[in-house]
Structure 1
Amino acid sequence: MAFSASVRAPAIAEMNMTPLVDVMLVLLVIFMVSTPMLSRNLQATLPQAAPPSPLKPMQLRVAVGSDGSYRLDDRPLGNQELWERLEAAVAADPRVVLRVSASGDADYQGMVTVLSEARARGIANIGIQP
């Protein structure tokens, strides 16, 4: 009996790329055909945005002098003119901020008058400064 060693063919170390290329080309064709169908225009009614509100509210500064005089943003004003300016400021911006300050020897009644008149004219944001 003669024993002969069977000679095996060496294993193929490379992967066959032909089926992979075929599959990739088929997928490419499918995507190329289906893409125009996806780009149809969809009619939609979009909501309209409201105009943006001002970032900062208007700021006014009233100073009460020792003689009972009033200064609005460093401009001397009489009582009636100050009240009219406060009304105009509220009409222009309802979120107006009023800062009230008084000199060291000012009468409290002048300060209270400014606070009550500002409140009566619709100013809700009032601050008292030293």
Structure 2
Amino acid sequence: MAFSAKRGSGGFQPLADINVTPLVDVMLVLLVIFMITAPMMAQGMKVDLPQARAAKPVNPKEPVVITVAKDGRLMLGPDEIPLDRIVEAVRAKINGDLSHVIHLRGDKESSLGDLVTLMDALSSNGMTHIAILSMQAKHAKAEAKGAAK
């Protein structure tokens, strides 16, 4: 703590100003240290994992795939299902596990409204883990060239 040179009734009075320069220096050093060490901490340590015959994948659940055709028909896997029964069919397929992932595949010429209606029906019944599938552009071009031949 610094003391001022003012003389009052009791001698020197303490100066209540904070010296900011050392504080800024320490904060900048800590910032640099954290910037350097943070990427190392995220990677973790490389190890050789042992092999096991009974090992299973962490998430063995297969996603439920719903396909929306050009004309609005819905396919749950290989089976065609009308919109009014799709929620019951999906619920039966996931066995009540609402955290199960549902993949929506829509034809590029299908109506966006059909896809939104389907998503609304699923999410309003608690099935919120929905992913919309697409194809990578280079594969789509190759597929389009193959279809043109």
The TM-score bracket by the shorter chain reads: 0.5 to 0.7
CA distance in 1, matches of 2:127, 2:94: 7
Counterpart of 2:106 in structure 1 is 102
**What percentage of aligned pairs have identical amino acids?**
17
In the alignment, is the contact (CA less than 8 A) between 1:70 and 1:76 conserved in 2?
Answer: yes
Q: Which of the two has higher C-alpha Rg?
A: 1
1:88 to 86, 92, 109: 92
CA distance in 2, matches of 1:58, 1:113: 24
CA distance in 2, matches of 1:116, 1:57: 23
Structure 2, unaligned stretches of length 5 or more? 1-57, 135-149
Following TM superposition, the consecutive aligned residue runs of length 4 or more in structure 1 with deviations greater than 6 angstroms are: none
Matched, 1:126 2:137: no
Counterpart code for 2:100: V
Counterpart of 2:29 in structure 1 is none
- What is the CA distance between 1:100 and its match in structure 2? 0.3
Q: How does 1:1-130 map to 2 (within 5 A)?
A: 55-89=59-93, 91-130=95-134
RMSD: 1.9
> What is the number of equivalent residue pairs in this alignment?
77
Q: TM-score, normalised by structure 2?
A: 0.46
- What is the CA distance between 1:55 and its match in structure 2? 3.9
